[in-house]
Structure 1
């Protein structure tokens, strides 16, 4: 029977799961944003998104604190920092998109935005489901392969969305909508960065 001479800080797995769980909730709030009818309802959704962003920041800061306080970590410190930071990026871009909807006082989003948010929701679910599997570093390849596929789908959809936007003669409207759809595209890119980081960690630990 083998004994570990130095304890390993395993709470990182739980914190990564918590952080990814906030992303799932944020994706649901983006979906809710599509259905709001009044400025008051829109503000309520955006306020919930701000709360989730704060919770995400707290989880990220706790991960960083534990990295600095732990003598032994489950995998490379640099990879822990990178994964925590990239999960935080996903939240930041989703919050940015929601914030812009409120700041620009958008009454109706282009129909194609629903597809963007649907893809982001799927990416958030996959990411949340993958975090517990970091502990064993097993059964993760399907996760990053599917995330990469979804990101390619998001790219194509984003390009179509932007092309459709430029058919509108109202330049200010086009600029506002492009900011929002670009933030959502950045969120999809950020989820792919998380998956790429997980792949790199899995390769190192295999």
Structure 2
């Protein structure tokens, strides 16, 4: 693309692309929540399929960033928000894959942790949807999502302490990895909320 064409390239709806990416993240977490209920292989595969769809959506967004001069919000903010959203799904996928490799079944503890991520991702999705509509509501959703990271940290410490009382060392090591993935997933949820807040504070 020549410089003239790049400077005056047609407008791209980055809000819509971010919304579509966020929708996929929410669908992926919903699929993970279902998997933690059923433990079925097919339900776990849904998480992996959605993660691949989200990778394609992120590539589309990055390609548009590379070919568009004017963006509605800062280019770096779009990139970082998309990255954080994508990482939520990455940890969901890794959780499923490792549970299958380790031959672990869902537990009440895992369901509780995934529920926190689900509630947080729902809030992130609502915030993204309101970026170009109701900025105050978007900020409110983002802040609420960030607060849930503290709830996850509380669960993580509590359930890890309980896990260490188990006599099966192999089980402890395997399940600790799953706990860690879910904790990291919540960290990325928190980061998405922080980036959204960073974007919005410049616009409200």
SS at 1:61 equivalent = helix
Q: Does 1:19 align with 2:21?
A: yes
Aligned counterparts of 1:67 and 1:165: Cα–Cα separation in 2: 45
CA shift digits 1:37-96 (9 cap, x unpaired):
5xxx32x12221111011110111111111111110011111111111111111101111
Tell me which residue corresponds to 1:3: none
CA shift at 1:144, angstroms? 2.0
Tell me which residue corresponds to 1:53: 51
Contact 2:143/2:197 (8 A) holds in 1: no
TM-score, normalised to structure 2, is 0.90
How many residue pairs were aligned? Answer: 196
Contact 1:8/1:73 (8 A) holds in 2: no
Q: Does 1:135 align with 2:132?
A: yes
Of 91, 94, 98, the residue aligned with 1:93 is 91
Unaligned runs of 5+ in 2: 1-7
Of 190, 195, 201, the residue aligned with 1:203 is 201
Contact 1:9/1:74 (8 A) holds in 2: no
Contact 2:156/2:183 (8 A) holds in 1: yes
Contact 2:51/2:90 (8 A) holds in 1: yes
Q: How does 1:1-206 map to 2 (within 5 A)?
A: 9-36=11-38, 41-42=40-41, 44-106=42-104, 108-136=105-133, 137-206=135-204
TM-score, normalised to structure 1, is 0.89
SS at 1:51 equivalent = helix
**Could you list the runs of 4 or more consecutive aligned residues of structure 1 that deviate by over 4 angstroms after TM superposition?**
none
CA shift at 1:138, angstroms? 3.6
CA RMSD of aligned residues (A): 1.6
Aligned counterparts of 2:140 and 2:189: Cα–Cα separation in 1: 15
CA shift at 1:7, angstroms? 7.8
Unaligned runs of 5+ in 1: 1-5
CA shift at 1:8, angstroms? 7.5
